[in-house]
């Protein structure tokens, strides 16, 4: 390994062993599939909120669980967020674990592909956006933007393509795109595993009854803090069958892993 970067994070192997049963493994013989392995992973407060208010980035993960998130980023082909998060956070969406490409490793080995769901082309990224800067510096990959036809202007499309990113166009008239379609497009473009980080809109859709079968694992950091009403909440639509209210889903094969002051909850979601 080349010299590790000074800002690289470390995730100890005894912690990794606890999380590993919930992350993707490559099958010995690859079989055709309609979607990648999907890991839904995010951090919430004790009142199930992702941030203090819409549009406000809120650091919830402590240093140990932050390192875990970067370990997960190194183990997935892609990392996906909604446009609300891209606009609010100006995120890096790269992996800063020691030993990956740009942080002591070669090339872009271990760097996930950022994917931003932006049907209306609301993300006004520029060469100064963190994710593009990191791609230009060889410390991350350029994003793929999932957008409605013609919603990303030529200048921004060119900016992406010059860094080996691209626009994935959907004929959606700028409205909702089904998650099966999005995931199918990703797998057809070579993404075998994707970690979905948020935000509220994306997570609540993926936890909704009709999408439960699309998510393979949930890895959820819970931070010991209450944010108070008015934040971005994780709470999927209710499940009602034959006029009866039912629980939406439940995690199976559950493991609770304490990491610093936080606890990380891992499991496989199933209809309750």
Ligand X SMILES: NC(=O)C1=CN([C@@H]2O[C@H](COP(=O)(O)OP(=O)(O)OC[C@H]3O[C@@H](n4cnc5c(N)ncnc54)[C@H](OP(=O)(O)O)[C@@H]3O)[C@@H](O)[C@H]2O)C=CC1
**2, 46, 56, 271: which one binds ligand X (CB under 6 A):** 56
- Strands 217-222 and 37-44 come out as parallel
Query: Which of ligand X, ligand LIKH6CAM, none does residue 117 bind (CB under 5 to 8 Å by kind)?
Result: ligand X
Shortest Cβ 59–ligand X spacing (Å): 8
Whether the bond between 199 and the residue before it is cis, its omega within 30 degrees of 0, is yes
CB burial string 88-114: b at 16+ within 10 A, e below? bbebbbbbbbbbbbbbebeebebbbbb
**64, 77, 89, 205: which one binds ligand LIKH6CAM (CB under 6 A):** 89
Is 124 an interacting residue with respect to ligand X (CB under 6 A)? no
Q: Which is nearer to ligand X, 101 or 232 (CB)?
A: 232
Residues in contact with ligand LIKH6CAM, shown as a per-residue x/- string from 190 to 209 under the rule CB under 6 A: -------xx-----------
Stretch 185-224 residues interacting with ligand X (CB under 6 A): 197-202, 205
Residue from 118, 100, 117 nearest 109 by CA: 100
First to last CA, the chain: 46
CA distance 220 to 254: 11
CA distance 212 to 220: 16
Is 221 an interacting residue with respect to ligand LIKH6CAM (CB under 6 A)? yes
Q: How far is CA 269 from CA 126, 207, 216, in A?
A: 37, 9, 7
Q: How many residues bind ligand X (CB under 6 A)?
A: 31
Is 101 an interacting residue with respect to ligand X (CB under 6 A)? no
Is 81 an interacting residue with respect to ligand LIKH6CAM (CB under 6 A)? yes
Query: Which of ligand X, ligand LIKH6CAM, none does residue 69 bind (CB under 5 to 8 Å by kind)?
Result: ligand LIKH6CAM
Dihedral sign of CA atoms 10, 13, 14, 16 in order: positive
Shortest Cβ 42–ligand LIKH6CAM spacing (Å): 6
Shortest Cβ 69–ligand X spacing (Å): 8
CA dihedral 13, 215, 40, 207 (to 10 degrees): -150
Q: Please give the residue ranges that form the binding site for ligand LIKH6CAM (CB under 6 A).
A: 43, 58-61, 69, 81, 85, 89, 91-93, 197-198, 221
């Amino acid at each position: 390994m080349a010299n590790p970067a000074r800002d690289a994070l470390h995730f100890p192997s005894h912690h990794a062993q606890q999380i590993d049963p919930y992350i993707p493994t490559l099958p010995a013989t690859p079989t055709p599939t309609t979607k990648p392995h999907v890991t839904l992973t995010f951090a919430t407060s004790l009142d199930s909120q992702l941030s203090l208010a819409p549009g406000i980035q809120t650091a919830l993960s402590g240093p140990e669980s932050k390192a875990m998130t970067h370990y997960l980023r190194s183990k997935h082909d892609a990392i996906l967020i909604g446009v609300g998060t891209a606009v609010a956070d100006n995120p890096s969406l790269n992996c800063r674990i020691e030993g990956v490409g740009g942080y002591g490793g070669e090339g872009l080995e271990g760097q996930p592909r950022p994917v931003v769901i932006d049907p209306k082309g609301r993300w006004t990224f520029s060469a100064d956006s963190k994710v593009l800067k990191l791609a230009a510096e060889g410390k991350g990959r350029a994003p793929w933007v999932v957008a409605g036809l013609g919603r990303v202007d030529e200048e921004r499309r060119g900016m992406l393509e010059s860094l080996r990113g691209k626009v994935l166009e959907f004929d959606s008239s700028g409205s909702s795109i089904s998650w099966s379609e999005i995931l199918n497009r990703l797998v057809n473009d070579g993404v075998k595993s994707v970690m979905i980080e948020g935000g509220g809109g994306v997570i609540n859709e993926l936890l909704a009854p009709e999408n439960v079968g699309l998510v393979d694992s949930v890895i959820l950091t819970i931070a010991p803090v209450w944010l108070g009403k008015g934040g971005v909440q994780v709470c999927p639509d209710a499940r009602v069958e034959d006029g009866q209210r039912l629980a939406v889903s439940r995690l199976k094969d559950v493991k609770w892993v304490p990491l610093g002051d936080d606890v990380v909850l891992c499991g496989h979601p199933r209809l309750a």
